[in-house]
């Protein structure tokens, strides 16, 4: 499938764990491709820890793929992270979609814990190299600025010998990082116009490194809501985004009908995106379930139809 639609959550929008599992069950029974959990450790808002969610989904689902959108490799130990991912991949029969980035220097995870942000990109690059090698090699030796490994191995390895390594970020260093280490790229909070030059830059950098990324391994995400911009959840999202972006925050969301959501999807496709992580803009558990059901019924079938059209061509 060239085009795929997954669902993601950042803040925990459910009243309890039962609501979360009702939502997961709906995604499992529907034709949702994957579930993605954002990574935030320090927060007054409720947020789940992404690796713990991956482990739970490994045991709580049979079909769905799942990933982190995106885990900060700069904040975590690469040996532990590689071992966690390999374990989850094994227990889920190869359904894990690991995705990593540096993490925002102004984010609370760094600031609140007093961690140095200087050269965090180098630290992340070393971590990504170690993770990729630990998944594939039986004996890893490495001497870097931040990590020194001598005769390190993990077992069992991931089920998938070509386990994906998705990279996030859009700065020049992130483009270079994706071209050097990644098997896919996932956008953050960006518009189609902002995503297009990043994808083009990655493709140019891949040539320099003598590597390739599958044409359909470029992803993007946005919040969606069936309803009106005046709906309270949509209005709150616009207000929150207005503090983070300089242009019209509505350009980062899709609110209205199925056609409005599909227009945004097609704009991203024109920019080179094939994989989507859509986030329900909702007030509570029942609202999340309603929004998800509408997406499953009215949007995903039309995206699937695009695949059939592409296959026929």
Residue 21 sits in a domain whose CATH number is: 3.20.20.30
pLDDT score of 308 more than 80: no
Number of domains in the chain: 1
Compute the 3-state secondary structure of the chain and give helix, strand, coil in percent, each to the nearest 5. 45, 20, 35
Find the mean pLDDT for residues 257-267.
Answer: 98
Tell me how far apart the alpha carbons of residues 67 and 87 are, in angstroms, rounded to a whole number. 14
Percent of the chain's residues with pLDDT above 90:
84
Give the torsion sign (CA, 96, 100, 104, 110): positive
pLDDT score of 311 more than 70: no
Tell me how far apart the alpha carbons of residues 215 and 217 are, in angstroms, rounded to a whole number. 6
Residues in the chain: 313
Instruction: Give how far Cα 182 sits from Cα of 98, 202, 279, 300, Å.
Output: 10, 10, 24, 27
DSSP 232: H
pLDDT score of 113 more than 70: yes
Find the mean pLDDT for residues 211-236.
Answer: 96
Q: Residue 103's pLDDT is what?
A: 75
Residue-range definition of the domain harbouring residue 135: 4-312
Q: Residue 1's pLDDT is what?
A: 54
pLDDT score of 313 more than 80: no
Asked if 303 and 5 touch (Cβ cutoff 8 Å), the reply is yes
CB atoms within 10 A of CB 313: 5
Confidence grade of residue 107 (pLDDT, cut at 50, 70, 90): confident
pLDDT score of 21 more than 90: yes
Percent of the chain's residues with pLDDT above 70:
97
- Model-level pTM? 0.92
pLDDT score of 291 more than 60: yes
Q: Residue 56's pLDDT is what?
A: 98
Tens-digit pLDDT profile for residues 72-101 = 998 899 999 999 999 999 999 999 999 999
Confidence grade of residue 106 (pLDDT, cut at 50, 70, 90): low
Q: Residue 105's pLDDT is what?
A: 63
Q: Residue 269's pLDDT is what?
A: 96
Q: Residue 162's pLDDT is what?
A: 83
Sorted by sequence, the CB contacts under 8 Å of residue 30 that are 6+ apart come out as 292, 293, 296, 300
pLDDT score of 283 more than 90: yes
Mean pLDDT value across the chain: 93
């Amino acid at each position: 499938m060239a085009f795929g639609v997954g669902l993601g959550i950042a803040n925990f929008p459910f009243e309890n764990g039962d609501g979360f599992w009702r939502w997961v069950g709906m995604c499992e029974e529907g034709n949702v491709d994957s579930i993605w959990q954002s990574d935030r450790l320090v927060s007054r808002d409720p947020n789940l820890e992404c690796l713990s969610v991956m482990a739970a989904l490994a045991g709580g689902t049979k079909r769905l793929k799942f990933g982190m959108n995106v885990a900060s490799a700069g904040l975590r130990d690469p040996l532990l992270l590689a071992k966690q991912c390999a374990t989850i991949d094994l227990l889920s029969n190869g359904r894990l979609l690991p995705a990593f980035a540096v993490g925002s220097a102004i984010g609370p995870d760094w600031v609140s814990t007093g961690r140095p942000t200087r050269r965090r990109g180098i630290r992340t690059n070393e971590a990504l190299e170690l993770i990729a090698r630990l998944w594939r090699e039986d004996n890893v030796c490495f001497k870097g600025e931040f990590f020194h490994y001598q005769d390190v191995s993990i077992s069992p390895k991931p089920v998938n010998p070509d386990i994906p390594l998705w990279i996030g970020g859009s700065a020049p260093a992130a483009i270079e990082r994706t071209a050097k280490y990644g098997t896919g790229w996932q956008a953050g909070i960006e518009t189609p116009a902002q995503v297009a030059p990043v994808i083009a830059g990655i493709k140019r950098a891949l040539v320099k490194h003598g590597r390739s990324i599958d044409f359909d391994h470029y992803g993007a995400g946005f919040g969606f809501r069936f309803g009106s911009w005046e709906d309270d959840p949509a209005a709150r999202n616009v207000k929150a985004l207005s503090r983070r972006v300089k242009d019209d925050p509505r350009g980062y969301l899709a609110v209205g009908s199925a056609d409005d959501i599909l227009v945004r999807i097609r704009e991203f496709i024109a920019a080179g995106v094939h994989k989507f992580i859509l986030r329900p803009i909702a007030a509570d558990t029942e609202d999340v379930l309603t929004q998800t059901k509408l997406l499953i019924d009215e949007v995903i079938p039309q995206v699937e139809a695009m695949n059939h059209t592409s296959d026929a061509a």
